[in-house]
Amino acid sequence: MASLRICVRRAPLEAPDGPGTAVSVRLPSDVDCIEEAVALLTYHCTAGMRASSRLRFRLQVVLAEALANAMLRGNREQPGKWVDVRAVLLPELVRLHIADEGPGFDPAAVPEPVSPARLQEPNGRGLFLMRHLADSVDFNAQGNSVCITLRRS
């Protein structure tokens, strides 16, 4: 795994969005960073707050999918292109904003991966997992930024 020095910024979040905490991280487009980034972000999203093992699992998978999507399909692993993550931590929910510098894509054009015809395909399950493990997944119009909400209960 690449040796990664991730700079995490934590800041208090005031009304109208808070009270809560905002955590932000900027990552290079390197998939070897993902496991460490997921561990770090999951820690910050759950530290000192109500968090079941189920929420940790959902956070880990959703973050891994969103980061891989941003690095591989968004930034196409180009050096110099970044992935920005901002997590808004509130008592009842975690909201993740993940943006890449790629051209974007149309999430509506991604087929369902669980049909019998697609079950043996190696690709195409990432967005499906995000949508089923998160409470909401919303892309911007360009398709290069996603807002993911997970309720804590």
Partner 1 sequence: MGFSETRQGGVVVVRAEGQLIVGNRHELKELVARRLADGERRFVIDFSGTGYIDSSGLGALVTMARQAREQGGELRIAGLNDDLRALFELTKLDTLFAISDTAEQALASF
Residues engaged in binding partner 1 (CB under 8 A): 1, 31-35, 53-54, 57, 60-61, 64-65, 68, 72, 113-114, 119-126, 128-129, 132
Query: What is the spatial distance between Cα 68 and Cα 30, in angstroms, rounded to a whole number?
Result: 9
DSSP the chain: --------EEEEE-TTT-SEEEEEEEEES-GGGHHHHHHHHHHHHHTTS---HHHHHHHHHHHHHHHHIIIIIISTT-TT-EEEEEEEE-SSEEEEEEE-SS----GGGSPPTTSTTTTT-SS--HHHHHHHHSSEEEE-SSSSEEEEEEE--
CB closer to partner 1, 20 vs 126: 126
Query: What is the spatial distance between Cα 80 and Cα 27, in angstroms, rounded to a whole number?
Result: 10
**Cβ neighbours of residue 16 under 8 Å, at least 6 residues apart?**
none
- Least spacing, CB of residue 53 vs partner 1, in Å: 7
CB closer to partner 1, 9 vs 132: 132
- Least spacing, CB of residue 13 vs partner 1, in Å: 27
- Least spacing, CB of residue 37 vs partner 1, in Å: 10
CB closer to partner 1, 13 vs 61: 61
CB closer to partner 1, 39 vs 47: 39
CB closer to partner 1, 22 vs 67: 67
- Least spacing, CB of residue 23 vs partner 1, in Å: 20
- Least spacing, CB of residue 47 vs partner 1, in Å: 17
